Structure 1
Amino acid sequence: MSEDARRWTIGELAKASGVTVRTLYHYDEIGLVKPGERTASGHRRYTEADLRRLYRVRALRGLGLSLDEIAAVLSGPEDDLGTLRNLLGAQLAEIEIQSARLGQLKQQISGLMWLMDKSVMPDAEQFMAALEMISVYETYFAQELRDHLAKRRVELGDERLTGLRAEWMGLVRETRELLLAGTPVEDPRVQEISARWEAMSAALQPGDEQVKQQLTAAGMALWRDNSAGLSEEISRQVDWLEAGDLPAVIDYLQRARNARESGE
C-alpha cells in the first residue's frame, strides 16, 4: 500500500461504516477485523482492505451468520464460495423449518378460532377438546417429525391443502355410504376409493422413505390409542358424521386394502 493511501481511525471507521466503536474493539479482540496498521503510539489505523473486510462482515451478519461462521468464511480466499454456500444452505434450511413451524402454529390457532366463530360464546368443552387433541398429537409426533410434516404443508401450500381436506371428507362420505349399504370390500367401487385414499395419504407425506415410515408408525399409534377421542372431535365439526363412523370407515378401507393385496 502506498504511503498516501487512506487510513481511518477507529472513530472514523465507525462513523463511515455504521458500526459502533465498541463493536470494532470486539472484532479486533477476536481477530475478525483487525487494523492493518498501528501508529508509533499504538493507535489503530484501518486500511482500505480492512474496510472491505468490515463490509463483508456486515453483509454476512445481515444474512444471519454467527461471528464464528463469518470467521470461517473469511478464513478462505475471497473467491472461495464453497464454505459460504454451505453455511447459507444451513441457514436456509433452518429458516424453512421455522417457517413450517409458524405455519403449523397458524393452522392450530385458525382451528381454535374456527371453533370460536361457530357461536357467539365458544363452547368451553369443545375448545378444551381441541387443545387436548393438539397435546395428544405432540405426544405421538416428536418435534423432528412435526417439522417434517409442517415443512410438507408449506410445500403443498394452502390451496392444495384445502383441496386435499375437501377430497378427504368426500372420500369419508362415499365410504360411509357404501359401508352402510353393506357393500363388500371386494366391490370395485370400494377398491377405487381405497386406492384414492392411499394416493391422497402419499401426497401428504415427505419424500424420505425413513421419515415416511416413522410418520406412519406414529400415526398408527396415535389412532390406535385415541381413535375414540379423535372421532368424536371430528364428528363435532361434521353434521353428517356420527362419532363411531370414522373408526368403522377406516377399518372398512383397511379391509379393502387387505383384500386387494391378497388378490395381487
Structure 2
Amino acid sequence: MPTTHSGRQWKVGRLAADTGLTVRTLHHYDDIGLVRPSGRTSTGHRLYEDRDVHRLYQVLALRQLGLSLDAIAAVTDGGASLSEILDAHRAYLDEQLAATRMLRAHVEMLGRKVRTSPDASVADFLEVIRGVIDVDDTIKQYFDESQLADLAERRAELGEDTIAAAETSWKVLIPRVDAALSAGMDPTCAEAQEMAAQWMGLLEQFHGGDDGLRESLYRMHTDNAQRIEQEFCGPSPEQIEFIAKANEARSA
C-alpha cells in the first residue's frame, strides 16, 4: 500500500501496482461508489488523492475480515456502525464454522467406513450420508448449529458400531425399566441403581458431558415426550422418574 503524502495523486495503474489490486478491481470499486477517485486527468483518466487512498485502506482492512462489499460500503459511508456489522459477520462466520465442522465430521465418518468396508457400494455410502445429514426438524428447534456440529463430531468419534450398540442397549434397557415399574421395584435397590448407571452412561455418550447439549436434550424430551414415546419407543415420564430416583440413590 502506498505511503500517503499531502497533495500526492495516483493514477489508477500506479495505485493498482502499489496496492496489489488490479485495475479492474479499482474500476469496479469506482463503479459501485465504494472508492471513487477525487479527480480526473484532462484525458479522463482517474486520479486518486490522499483521502481516496485512506478510504481504500479502510476497504481493504475490512475486506480482510471477509466482509461483503455491501457491508463495507455501509460502514464506510456511515450507514451502519462497525460494531453492528462485525456482530452480524461474526454470527455468519460461526454458522460457516459449524457447517465446516459438521462436514468434516461426516467426511471422517465416511472415511472410516471406507477403510473398514472397502467393498461397500455407492448406494451403501449414500444411505449412510442420508442417515447422518438428514436432521429431524424437531431436533433443529432445540440444538443450534454449533451443537449439531458437536453431535456430528461425537458421532464420527464414536463410530457407527458404537452408535448401533448404544441403540441396541436402549432397546433392552427401556423394557427392563418398564418391567421393573410393573413389578413395583424399589428405585433405591441395587438393580435399579445398576439400570440408572447404564441409563446415565448412554446419555453421556450422546452429550459427552456438555451442559448445553444435556440441557437441550432434556428440553427436547420434555416438550416432545409423547411423540418420542409413541414414534420412537422412547422412555415414558414414569420410567424417567424411576431412573431419576434410582440415580439419586446411586449418587447419595
**TM-score, normalized by the shorter chain, greater than 0.5:** yes
Unaligned runs of 5+ in 1: 228-246
Tell me: CA distance 1:89–1:168, structure 2 relative to 1, closer, same or farther (3 Å).
Answer: farther
- The aligned counterpart of 1:14 is 16
Cα displacement (A) at 1:16: 1.6
Corresponding position: 1:191 with 2:189? no
Tell me: CA distance 1:218–1:84, structure 2 relative to 1, closer, same or farther (3 Å).
Answer: farther
Separation in 1 of the partners of 2:100 and 2:14?
42
Percent of counterpart pairs with the same letter?
Answer: 25
Amino acid corresponding to residue 7 of structure 1 in structure 2: Q
Superimposed CA distance per residue, residues 55-95 of structure 1 (whole angstroms, 9 cap, x where no aligned partner): 22122122211111111111249xxxx92233233223222
For these two proteins, the number of residue pairs brought into alignment is: 231
- The aligned counterpart of 1:65 is 67
Cα displacement (A) at 1:260: 5.2
Amino acid corresponding to residue 93 of structure 2 in structure 1: I
Superimposed CA distance per residue, residues 210-260 of structure 1 (whole angstroms, 9 cap, x where no aligned partner): 8974587689857854x5xxxxxxxxxxxxxxxxxxx6xx64x96542325
Separation in 2 of the partners of 1:208 and 1:261?
15
Tell me: CA distance 1:131–1:64, structure 2 relative to 1, closer, same or farther (3 Å).
Answer: closer
Amino acid corresponding to residue 188 of structure 1 in structure 2: Q
Moved more, 39-48 or 10-19: 39-48
Secondary structure of the residue that 1:257 maps to in structure 2?
helix
- The aligned counterpart of 2:110 is 112
Separation in 2 of the partners of 1:41 and 1:132?
62
Separation in 2 of the partners of 1:42 and 1:89?
41
Given that 1:73 and 1:83 are in contact with CA atoms closer than 8 Å, whether structure 2 keeps it comes out as yes
Unaligned runs of 5+ in 2: none
Separation in 1 of the partners of 2:129 and 2:6?
70
Separation in 2 of the partners of 1:125 and 1:119?
13
1:149 to 134, 147, 150: 147
Separation in 1 of the partners of 2:199 and 2:81?
48
Moved more, 104-113 or 145-154: 145-154
Separation in 2 of the partners of 1:124 and 1:85?
48
Given that 1:191 and 1:257 are in contact with CA atoms closer than 8 Å, whether structure 2 keeps it comes out as no
Given that 1:137 and 1:222 are in contact with CA atoms closer than 8 Å, whether structure 2 keeps it comes out as no
Separation in 2 of the partners of 1:199 and 1:158?
11
- The aligned counterpart of 1:240 is none
- The aligned counterpart of 1:257 is 240
Secondary structure of the residue that 2:21 maps to in structure 1?
coil
- The aligned counterpart of 2:90 is 92
Given that 1:17 and 1:55 are in contact with CA atoms closer than 8 Å, whether structure 2 keeps it comes out as no
TM-score (norm 2): 0.63
Given that 1:7 and 1:46 are in contact with CA atoms closer than 8 Å, whether structure 2 keeps it comes out as yes
Separation in 2 of the partners of 1:171 and 1:210?
20
Superimposed CA distance per residue, residues 22-62 of structure 1 (whole angstroms, 9 cap, x where no aligned partner): 22222223221122234566543211221121122122122
Provide the aligned C-alpha RMSD in A: 5.0
Separation in 1 of the partners of 2:111 and 2:35?
51
Amino acid corresponding to residue 259 of structure 1 in structure 2: F
Tell me: CA distance 1:192–1:50, structure 2 relative to 1, closer, same or farther (3 Å).
Answer: same
Separation in 2 of the partners of 1:18 and 1:122?
50
TM-score (norm 1): 0.60
Matches within 5 A, 1:206-245: 206=212, 213=219, 225=231, 227=232
Tell me: CA distance 1:42–1:220, structure 2 relative to 1, closer, same or farther (3 Å).
Answer: farther
